[in-house]
Structure 1
Amino acid sequence: MASLLPGTDSHILADPPRLDFLDRQTLRLIRPMTALEAWNAVMARPLPLMALAFRLRDAVSARFGVRPIGGFSGARRQAVKVGERLDFFLVEHAAPQVLVLTERDRHLDVMTCITTSGGELAITSSVITHNRYGRIYMWPVAPAHRLIVRHMLRRMAQG
């Protein structure tokens, strides 16, 4: 974990000026929960078309030597440890209120940090691209990511 987003407890890959993408979205929690419980709640109701989007991503990315990630399984986890995987993400840090997940390849590094503190859930994603493919990949992914997280949090709030 390289850095904390200033003014938050959210981990990011590097200081904000060095990032190629940064998004932090929050939701007021109706009850206290751990970061893993928040992950389970967000993943419990997958957005329509997400499976198709991941299949498309995997098909296109395979042409550039990127391993398939397959998407989100929706499987609930009771516990996770550093070094384990939550779907395609590597767990780099696991504490009751902070869950740091990464996916790294030769094109880009992605870190998603889920925090639950002060009655708030925050999902913070940061990306550093390494080459032209990583930058091109992020053109459609950046705005889509913001919308997807917004809708996932909205669905979680609705129960």
Structure 2
Amino acid sequence: MTRLSRARTCAVPADSALRPAVGGAYFAHCAGIALPCAPASALQAYRDLAALVPGWFEGLMGMRNRAMRMLGMKDLGRIGATGAGDVCVGDKIGIFTVFGHTPDEIVLGDEDRHLRVTLSLQLKREDGAARLYCATVVERPNRLGRFYMLPVNPIHRLIVPYLLEHYARRLRDEHAPSTKDTP
């Protein structure tokens, strides 16, 4: 069985749609991982990753949504509610709205009174290999937004690499030769 690389914190790729926002961001984080094979698109990678979100994390999102509703802010819904089919700018997919979309990069985000968050999943294909980058930028937090980011910052830095590694393992296992086919 092929050994997988670990997800690593890295710089937002120079050609990412989020790169221009990094310098003035309140929070910026990017993690990347080598994939054993390339998904069909960045959109497919997002849907696949959203399907891997653990139940405990969806539970935290439920608590977040209830608390934000009490403060008069958006209920973002469920991360895993990504639907199927193609998407257009402005469509809702999971907890995010599509801000931009090409086969190799999907830019998603949300804006509320307390902050603006933007996420990019960027797929890079080179010589038969593939890398996936997940970059997040948070801008314009007010006092509530900065308070909101206190638990989000460390959780984000844990969950993104976890999901990337889980995804790489899933791709490897789905595309590994079946042992039952060998005599």
TM-score, normalised to structure 2, is 0.77
Q: String of CA shifts for 1:84-136, please: whole Å, max 9, x gaps.
A: 11122111111000100010011100000010013210000000133100000
Could you tell me which of 32, 39, 42 is aligned with 1:26? 32
User: How far apart in 2 are the matches of 1:6 and 1:155?
Assistant: 21
The structure having more radius of gyration, on CA atoms, is: 2
Structure 1 residue runs without a partner (length 5+): none
Report the 3-state secondary structure (helix = DSSP H, G, I; strand = E; otherwise coil) of the residue aligned with 2:119: strand
Given the alignment of the two structures, is residue 79 of structure 1 paired with residue 90 of structure 2, yes or no?
no
Residue equivalent to 2:148:
137
Residue equivalent to 1:124:
135
Report the 3-state secondary structure (helix = DSSP H, G, I; strand = E; otherwise coil) of the residue aligned with 2:55: coil
Q: String of CA shifts for 1:49-77, please: whole Å, max 9, x gaps.
A: 01210111112222322111122135452
* Count of matched residue positions in the alignment of Structure 1 and Structure 2: 155
TM-score, normalised to structure 1, is 0.88
Q: Is the 8 A contact 1:35 1:115 kept in 2?
A: yes
Q: Is the 8 A contact 2:109 2:118 kept in 1?
A: yes
User: How far apart in 1 are the matches of 2:26 and 2:62?
Assistant: 24
Q: Is the 8 A contact 1:13 1:111 kept in 2?
A: no
Structure 2 residue runs without a partner (length 5+): 1-10, 171-183
Could you tell me which of 101, 108, 111 is aligned with 1:104? 111
Between 105-114 and 77-86, the greater mean CA deviation after superposition: 77-86
Would the alpha carbon gap of residues 56 and 13 (structure 1) be closer, same or farther in structure 2, given more than 3 Å must change?
farther
Would the alpha carbon gap of residues 49 and 137 (structure 1) be closer, same or farther in structure 2, given more than 3 Å must change?
same
Taking every aligned residue pair, what percent have the same amino acid on both sides?
27
**How do residues 53-92 of structure 1 correspond to structure 2 at under 5 angstroms?**
53-92=60-99
Q: Which amino acid aligns with 2:60?
A: A
